[in-house]
Structure 1
């Protein structure tokens, strides 16, 4: 595959791929050892990566975001690339990929056995897990898919908060978490195969900011599913309007007509969280919105979302979100100010 003097990279394309990740990776690899020299001397460098888009067939097809992809080669023509990159798969958080990707899984196993380094972005790690290549190893994926990855593949040690995990035999399994963490992955590959100085140059050229704090500051904490149990659904709706109430779990149990013990058991079975865990996640999500949108002191926000002890709120927020409330506000408020107002508070989301 390509010039043997170059490092061969296969970007695996499927109908569930989004083109931005696929071609973003291609751009960064194409720029490596080429564009910085052009800025300094006016003459492009030779480049070091031979990057191809590969798929199960070579016919053009539409990607998940509607862009037409034209693979450079089929899987059978690409037997041992140095590096394989699997972009994210556009699928629901409970999506089943078993039947749809059997051919890709066989190809991934062949590449790994032949010595290729396999990498993934976002939900692309589900393909590595489905191929059986993550069993017994550490892994990560987008925060919305971490529970699915851990539940469906129990032999995989899932890290929920890490933006990049390097694992596998001879560190030949590399996974990036969220969708835009493909930038972290690309810089890691450039640094590992070419050198840290070139990775820094590429970061400067493309204004890439590495996600050193992990995924958790970006995660939506209230990801527990809506209940099929009508009693618990009613409790969720009540809590969306009264999460700041004192002793909310006791009040929900009383309103449900169940004993507190039975209520807690049914709530956990229906949502996957204990009632108090659910209260905390809802309060913290509202606190995140308030930190982004306003200037109220952190202690005031703690009181408004239901915490009488600001110190406890600080500790809980830092543990769950991965940043202190003050650092979270500093990072995300500017983005909020650039966006038009929307009715997207935790309260509004939970009512929908």
Structure 2
């Protein structure tokens, strides 16, 4: 029997992560019974207090056990902790030595969505790959530069450490963990029962590129704003560096440091976002959109678009735009 500990943090955490994980994992024994197999999971909510209020006391969770009573577990699931991540980690710091000890004793540890921030606070993610909600990618990189953030991934796995991408993609990780522990057939049964698309591996189609502007380099910020309003034009690094009155090499270095992207990457991402908006809302065909965002090489655009979003332009348009349109 595998013991699963779903954490119930103090403060504001994701009730959906907690209840959803509990419900699906608790059903695994029923799926096993249907196939004439013995039960496998003992699922518990594990907390720091016997009564944990959530969402300004609108909900209250009563954990099955406190961490002191759980001497050994096989899988720890960390839900999203909302609000200021440093404050949330401080509020729940008593979990950290327990999680580390359990991991050292052989337990697997999984974070759901922005639960990755708390997992990173344990030190267990250092040097390892990690997924989290794409919207918080830059904040995560700033707080944990020693973690290999893979913001396009739905799931990462290394050395019994698992993480999931944004929001409801936690369901994909739960199904993945069921497959790891109980087998592919049981994972398929769970995916079908809960109508969860199995084997999704990328959150790229959902990412909205917003540009990193939390830095304090004002000349670079002005260049970013110029790019965002002039992306249809043919922009060059020389033109942008001249505009900012910064030498080219220094300009490229400062731009990369401030935004996390090279200048050309930034221009490409802005063009891709503009194209995505057109694909979602307009009746233009694919080539019209490509030309309108400033690309003349349609093949190059299609390659870059697929790399960034995980979908071809036509697949993206068909996914998000239900209007009748020409190809």
Name which of 17, 22, 26 aligns with 2:22. 26
Residues in 1 aligned to 2:244 and 2:259: alpha-carbon distance in whole angstroms = 16
| Residue number in structure 2 paired with 1:13 | 8
User: CA contact under 8 A between 2:302 and 2:313: conserved in structure 1?
Assistant: yes
Is 1:117 aligned to residue 108 of structure 2?
Answer: yes
CA distance in 1, matches of 2:231, 2:271: 6
Q: C-alpha displacement at 1:285, in angstroms? A: 0.9
Equivalent runs, 1:85-96 vs 2, <5 Å: 85-91=77-83
Please point out which of 129, 134, 139 is paired with 2:130.
Answer: 139
Q: Deviations over 1:86-116 (max 9, x none)?
A: 1122246x85765344211111012112222
Name the SS of the counterpart of 1:8 in structure 2: strand
- Does the C-alpha gap of structure 1 residues 178 and 229 become closer, same or farther in structure 2, counting only changes over 3 Å? same
Residue number in structure 1 paired with 2:153: 162
* Partner SS, residue 321 of structure 2: helix
Counterpart pick for 2:320 among 332, 337, 349: 332
Deviates more, 1:50-59 or 1:307-316: 50-59
Q: State how far apart, in whole Å, the 2-side matches of 1:213 and 1:81 are.
A: 27
Per-residue deviation, residues 56-106 of structure 1 (Å, max 9, x unmatched): 1112311489543332221111221221111122246x8576534421111
Q: Does 1:75 align with 2:67?
A: yes
Q: Distance in 2 between matches of 1:165 and 1:286?
A: 29
Larger deviation, residues 56-65 vs 276-285:
56-65
Per the TM alignment, residue 202 of structure 1 is displaced from its structure 2 partner at its CA by: 1.4
Corresponding position of 1:3: none
For 1:141 and 1:73, the matched residues in 2 are separated by 27
* Root mean square deviation of aligned Cα: 3.0
TM-score (norm 2): 0.85
Give unpaired runs (5+ residues) of structure 2: none
1:17 and 1:64 in contact (8 A); partners too: no
What do residues 287-345 of structure 1 show as CA deviations (whole Å, max 9, x unaligned)?
111112233222211111111111111111112222221222233335xx7xxxxxxxx
TM (norm. structure 1) is 0.79
Q: Which stretch shows the higher mean deviation, 247-256 or 294-303?
A: 247-256
Q: List gaps (5 residues or longer) in structure 1.
A: 1-5, 338-352
CA distance in 2, matches of 1:95, 1:273: 26
Give the structure 2 partner of residue 198 of structure 1.
186
2:307 aligned partner:
319
Distance 1:66 1:236 in 2: 42
Show CA shifts across 1:251-287 (max 9, x none): 5445445555554444444433333322211111111
Query: Does residue 195 of structure 2 align to residue 207 of structure 1?
Result: yes
Q: Distance in 1 between matches of 2:103 and 2:56?
A: 26
Aligned residue-pair number: 321
2:230 corresponding residue in structure 1? 242
C-alpha distance in 1 between matches for 2:305 and 2:123: 36
Check whether the contact 2:13–2:54 (CA below 8 A) recurs between aligned residues: no
Q: 2:220 & 2:131 partners in 1: Cα distance?
A: 31
The answer to whether the Cα contact below 8 Å between 1:62 and 1:69 also exists between their aligned partners in 2 is yes
CA change 1:283–1:209 in 2 (3 A) is same
The equivalent of 1:51 in structure 2 is 43
CA pair 240-67 structure 1, distance change in 2 beyond 3 A: farther
**Structure 1 position 35, deviation (Å):** 6.7
Of 221, 228, 236, which residue of structure 2 is paired with 1:233? 221
Q: Verify: 1:102 aligned to 2:93, yes or no.
A: yes
